[in-house]
Amino acid sequence: MARGFKCKQFFVAHDLCAMKVSTDSLILGSWASTEGTQQVLDVGCGSGILSLMMCQRSAQDAKILAIDVDPHAVEQTQINASNSRWANRIDVRHCELAALTHPQLADTIICNPPYFTNTNVGNAEHLAQSVSRQTARHQGSLSSQDLFFHTARLSSSKTRLSCLYPTPQRETVLTHARQYGWQLSRELMVFNHRGARSHVSAFEFSRQAVTATKETLIIKNEQNAYTDEYKTLCKDFYLAF
């Protein structure tokens, strides 16, 4: 069997693509709003984990458009989609976000974007990675400004955008979002352990000004076991939950 991650309703192989199934993706896919969703755009689909999670959580007639610039990721998502119960709901394309045209509006956009910055280029970890993995992890392939600009171009007044970035980049991310008319509606600060610094935050943006809700999530407790709050969030996917 191909290497991957088994969820309650699907299996995600990740042997072909650069980015493997991660805790970040499982948090984002479990947390993103799906109420009223009919058309989802998954930007930088990687293994297809977010597309499959959105299929499971949205209405049975909701459609997913998954895109990636990496042909291996596109192939991986196509395989995972075809092996799932939702094969007829997921359209996978090899293209850049900039190549999508206005008629392809989505009411829900989800993205676990690359967030390495130029300061990471050339270090030992970066040099040890394949070109595909460098592209998948490095902002040069999709900066936060590019993400917010192009998703704004493809959005309607009711579109929601859910994404995840390192918490230290929070202010930059919010500035870039506002620059293109995205308003923060929800935020989830994620902590590995109680007392640790938040390493990533999930954000939900809308096209209309609202009062943002802010939450926190601690992944593991003092015994290094998953917390009840993490189990509750991800219970529809983890076999052990």
Task: Give 77-115 pLDDT, tens digit per residue.
Answer: 999 999 999 999 999 999 999 999 876 689 999 999 987
d(CA 87, CA 78): 9
Look at residue 229 in the predicted model and tell me its pLDDT: 98
pLDDT tens, position by position, 129-156: 444 444 444 444 699 999 999 999 999 9
Phi and psi at residue 91, in whole multiples of 5°? -105, 120
* Residue 239 falls inside a structural domain: no
At residue 141, the pLDDT reads: 66
Burial of 112 (0-12, 13-18, 19+ CB in 10 A): buried
CATH number of domain containing 77: 3.40.50.150
Q: How many domains does the structure of the chain reveal?
A: 1
pTM for the model stands at: 0.89
For residue 123, tell me if it sits in a domain. yes
Residue 162, domain extent: 4-234
Whether 12 is covered by a domain: the verdict is: yes
- Structural domain contains residue 78: yes
